[in-house]
Amino acid sequence: MSRISFITILMLAFKAEAQTSALAVSDSLYAVGEYAEAIGKLQEIAPKTDKVYLKLAKNYAANRQPEIALDNYKKVLDENPDRVLTAVDYGELLVKTGKLKAADSVFKELTEKYPENANFKFQQGLIREKLKDSTAMGYFMHTMILDTTHQGALYKIAKDKLRNRQYTMAEHYSKQGLRANANNPSLLSILAQTYSSLKLYREAIPPYKKLIQIGQDSEFIYTKIGFAYYQDGDYLKAIEMYNEALNFEDKNSATHYTLGKLYALTGDLDKSETHLLMSILIKKQPVDAEYLSLGLTYKMQEKHKDALDYFNKALEENPDNERAMYERAVAADNYFADDETAIGYYRAYFNKYESIGNDGMLYRAKTRISDLKKKMHLAEN
């Protein structure tokens, strides 16, 4: 071997070793988030191979320089159009940068080359969805046909069925996905919401509980499972869940309002009062329902003056709250010693709602007016 050939081999070996070293350093820098430094190391390498260009693309994308990343992907694909994984990365980055038409072309070509690949078809569906193209659901269905366990496609389909109130189908596709992955939080949520929509609250509880068990708890989940327990008649469990919801957001008027009603149902009137008052303090819109509930709590405590005050507040918020107007008459009947005053409240209610009101409340108001009149008549004699 000539001296020149030996030197050439040594130089090539040195370059290869130097490139390997630079790649290893860039990988370490990438791993700790030092993307700019990694890019600098990679740019020092010459000549650049496909491997270098791909690492540059990865670092530029991570460094929020997607346009340069796309250029590096394209350099590789122009020379090697059959690199499938590179094409996928390129297409996904096109989607992230909003270049949806270009991304669609990439995945369309991949689908034509690999018609049995469910993920390529799914990506086309996601792009159509972003473009607000009505054909998106067809791509998701096609994906599911290619892979009956495809979690992303099954979620999209089940969610669409739930949104369109096709509850049987929403349940079917959710369960189909959950058979393959019992811990898929998106599908568990769709299944639970489907049962809630169908008022099958007992069936809704297990998937909500599963979401909590796998660490997907949130105010939304605790509120939903709390309502399911409420409707299923388990008030203590409902209270527990709504209190958990308050740990996420303690200024939710609706949560305090529901807790106020639940505590009243369990006989804990002090806590009922506390939460109903909190609901009123937080809420900025008309609060006649909250005032009505608080009035009813005071009624159960036989605090007739307080009840009367809050029924009046409910009517100030909403003069057309029939229940508040009736309950105000009952509270006045219990509070005032003067029967004529109580009759006046009952008459005010009866005259307003005689032809449009609740039959039961109208009957009780009319009967009470008659009884009070008889009582006053007997007292005069």
pLDDT tens sequence across 228-252: 999 999 999 999 999 999 999 999 9
The pLDDT of 119-141, averaged and rounded, is 96
Residue written as token pair 């010693």: 337
Provide the pLDDT for residue 46: 81
Cis geometry, peptide bond prior to residue 47 (ω within 30 degrees of 0): yes
**Phi then psi for 251, rounded to 5 degrees?**
-115, 30
pTM of the complete model: 0.75
Phi then psi for 218, rounded to 5 degrees?
-160, 170
Across 359-369, b (16+ Cβ under 10 Å) vs e yields eebbeebeebb
Residue 157 has pLDDT above 80, yes or no: yes
- 376 three-class SS: helix
Average pLDDT over residues 301-328: 95
| Cβ-Cβ contacts under 8 Å for 359 (sequence gap 6 or more) | none
* Tens-place pLDDT, residues 45-80: 888 888 888 889 899 899 899 999 999 999 999 998
Instruction: Check if the beta carbon of residue 122 is closer than 8 Å to that of residue 140.
Output: yes
